[in-house]
Amino acid sequence: MSRYTISHQDKALAFGKDHACGLFLQIWSRPKDASKRKLQDVIGPEGEDMLVDKDDIDDFSDDDVLDLIEAHGFELSEFTPDPEL
């Protein structure tokens, strides 16, 4: 399994490839309380925190995925390596 995660103050996004479900995309809300956020970072989001939980996104077009991530406040530039590094 490969997994890439981007965290904002209020939401987080994970995508990757799982051996069982193929390509996946998950977006969840993050707690406002810093200690609860740290706990969520360790154990993962609860079911009620999940905003998007899509398996097998091979069926989605690139535009569909881009629209979905942008609708939740993420930008394509966050998914590309920084050329300065």
Helix/strand/coil for 66: helix
Model pLDDT, residue 11: 96
Q: What is the DSSP string of 2-53?
A: EEEEEE-SSEEEEEEEETTTEEEEEEEE--SSHHHHHHHHHH---GGGEEEE
Contact indicator for 72, 13 with CB cutoff of 8 Å = yes
Per-residue pLDDT reduced to its tens digit, 35-65: 999 999 899 899 899 999 888 777 778 888 8
